[in-house]
Structure 1
Amino acid sequence: MGTTTQRLTSRLPMIGDKTDRKDVVAVVKLHGVINPQPTPLARGVINLAAVETALTRAFDHDRLKAVALQINSPGGAPTQSGLIAERIRQLADKKNVPVLAFAEDLAASGGYWLACAADEIFAHRTSLVGSIGVISGGFGFTGLLDRFGVERRLYTAGKNKSRLDPFSPEKPEDVEWLGKLHNQLHEMFVDWVRERRGDRLTSEEDLFTGDVWLGAKAQRLGLVDGIGSLRDVLGERYPDAEIVFAEPKKPLLARLGIGAPAAALLDAVESRVAWSRFGL
């Protein structure tokens, strides 16, 4: 009798028993412009503060087999790109799990910087990948002020404090200074790509001009490792794993669809400009 009871009870699930739980692949969505401003109105903005919780949750799963980065970004702030990429590597090294990046429409500039945090990068054949360069822009309003008879008054301590002021005439020395800054950032970007991609990069053409390529060409150049969608690749590599998504939380006002019209319009214009540079 005792033996029969033991056999029956051994087949029953026990509280806290995890033997029937599936392996997990966690997916983190990194969609939008990389912008350091964590405004309550921002939609589709990537920065470390916005994605930290999602990254931590993704790497904290039991039975974690891999983390996938679903990237759709035209880039943005270089510092935020670097901070997020470094955080991904810290968590990956701590948990000792592989990281796979998947470029959707666009993994360009800072978006490609994020992709390079992965051990492998995949793209769709129509994805745009690359743009390993640095860009900044602005407007000059001196003519507008003159037209309306407005006099600009600016008071500073330090001869370079008013560099690139949009309401003052552009100075050649300011443009030269900005160019040097761009070159330094570009070198850091190139070093990061070389560090992460290593001998997978080819010498077929100059990869660091700021150009972008479609997925198949990006694969030939060594910027990505393969052509395939997130679900296809993960389904093939981890057929028995559960795919779970960890999305960065949107600010409260953005989730409710509430926001000051002027601020919301400015966010939309800035985002539209970033995407439109790549025809999207």
Structure 2
Amino acid sequence: MEFLFDYGLFLAKIATVVVSIIAILIAAKAVGGKSAGAKGELEVTNLTEQYKDTVVELEHHLFDDAELKARTKAEKKADKEAEKAKQKEIKQAAKSGELELKRDARLFVLDFNGSIDAKEVAALREEVSAILAVAIEGDEVLLRLESGGGMVHGYGLASSQLDRLRDANIKLTISVDKVAASGGYMMACIGEKIIAAPFAIVGSIGVVAQLPNFNKLLKKNDIEFEQLTAGEYKRTLTMFGENSDKAREKFQLELEETHVLFKDFIREHRSELDLEKVATGEHWFGKQALELGLIDEIQTSDDYLTKACKNREVLAIHYVQKKKLSDKIAGIAGQSAENVFMRLISKGQRPIV
């Protein structure tokens, strides 16, 4: 009897802990909901300074300390004289009322590692807006792009963000180190110049949609499925109902129409491409893509940035969204399950590029 009492007390304690955790999660979600409007922040990293620091660190292992100290002293003296002259010029301009803010052209570096629904566009639009707010003539943007494609609407919006840079006459270079296929290439073709690593995967200008159908399995187990729609083509193919030839033909037509729009978009931005040859859904490696005109040069982003850091200031721009407390506590497992389910549904109902 005493054992049962102790066991019941133990269960009560466990229940109390579980209820407390649930209460904390609910409270955290409520707080997170109230602060949903809170924005993230821009993180700016000076890649030129990082490059110089790396060079200096290695030089200490390669050259005599006396030589390095002498060079450093000379550089500091030159920098001091240049800064003194600059300050004098600023004071004179301010005194005469002709002071204007001036700076040298910069290279801004953005990163887009695209998921299937292109959710990274939320950060991309903030980064692009920030650059447009301060851009001057001569500035350039390098986008390090990695994506195998995904939802048409998501990658269409991401491409539109890059178009904002081109509309503002800002040079846009796209770098592909691993893959820019399908929707990824839709984004890449916006660039004034596309560079890619020798074995980067490029192309896949096509559209695909697929979904399983469980209708026979449901019938076998005497499970009925009902779906009500208003509008002849509100739903064409379905995962649980019986699909008709008419529904398949309509869905195929929608895929073909999306492919035509995709090709028109590519043609608008890279008119020299032979679309009959490359818009087949195939993908190619970097060197093959260069021969076909899908890219402009074989080069990695590392080589491009190393060269740029020697000549001008290079700034990496990242927009970081602050995570809500509820997301940090309970987000990972639930979000993963939700993403898997969303992908299964979305793949069947929306075309993918």
| TM-score above 0.5, yes or no | yes
Residue type at the aligned position of 2:323: L
Q: Do the aligned partners of residues 268 and 149 (structure 1) sit closer, same or farther apart at CA in structure 2, a change above 3 Å counting? A: closer
| Counterpart check, 1:58 vs 2:131 | yes
2:236–2:251 Cα contact (<8 Å) kept:
no
User: What corresponds to 1:220 in structure 2?
Assistant: 291
Which of 106, 110, 122 aligns to 2:195? It is 122
| CA–CA separation in structure 2 for the residues paired with 1:212 and 1:224 | 12
Kindly indicate whether the alpha-carbon contact (under 8 Å) linking 1:74 and 1:109 is maintained by their aligned counterparts in 2. yes
Give the superposition deviation at 1:209: 0.7
Partner of residue 205, structure 2: 132
Change over 3 Å in CA distance of 1:177–1:87 after alignment to 2: same
Instruction: Point out the structure with max Rg over C-alpha.
Output: 2
- Taking a change above 3 Å as real, the CA distance of residues 234 and 59 of structure 1, as seen in their structure-2 partners, is farther
Once the two structures are overlaid, the 10-residue window that deviates more, 180-189 or 253-262, is 253-262
Aligned to 1:169: 242
Between Structure 1 and Structure 2, the one with more helix by share is 2
Residue among 191, 195, 198 paired with 2:268: 195
The partner residue of 1:30 within 92, 112, 118 is 112
Instruction: Answer with 143-152 or 245-254: which moved more.
Output: 245-254
What corresponds to 1:143 in structure 2? 216
Q: When the two structures are aligned, how many residues end up with a matched partner?
A: 252
Tell me how far apart the structure 2 counterparts of residues 212 and 178 of structure 1 sit (CA, whole Å): 24
Q: Shift of the alpha carbon at 1:235?
A: 3.7
Counterpart residue type for residue 101 of structure 1: I
Q: Please list the CA deviations of residues 52-99 of structure 1 after superposition, one character each: whole Å capped at 9, or x if unmatched.
A: 1012123334556201111101111222222222232223322x2210
Native 8 Å contact 1:22 1:240 kept in 2: no
Question: Mapping of 1:74-93 within 5 angstroms?
Answer: 74-93=148-167
Amino acid of the structure 2 residue aligned with 1:35: D
Q: 1-side partners of 2:176 and 2:330: how far apart?
A: 30
Match for 2:297: what amino acid?
G
Deviations 1:167-220 (A, max 9, x none): 101111111111111111111111121221122x358x8201100000000000
C-alpha distance in structure 1 between counterparts of 2:117 and 2:127, whole Å: 17
Separation in 2, partners of 1:9, 1:125: 47
Question: What is the RMSD of the two structures over their aligned residues, measured on CA atoms?
Answer: 3.1
Deviation at 1:10, TM superposition (A): 5.3
Q: Identity rate of aligned residues, in percent?
A: 26
Verify: 1:72 aligned to 2:146, yes or no. yes
Unpaired stretches in structure 2, ≥5 consecutive residues: 1-82, 92-98, 348-353
- Measured in 2, the distance between the counterparts of 1:10 and 1:72 equals 44
Deviates more, 1:114-123 or 1:73-82: 73-82
CA contact (8 A) 1:27 1:58 kept: no
Within the candidate set 328, 331, 337, 1:265 is matched to 337
Contact 1:29 1:248 in 2 (8 A): no
Query: Structure 2-normalised TM-score?
Result: 0.63
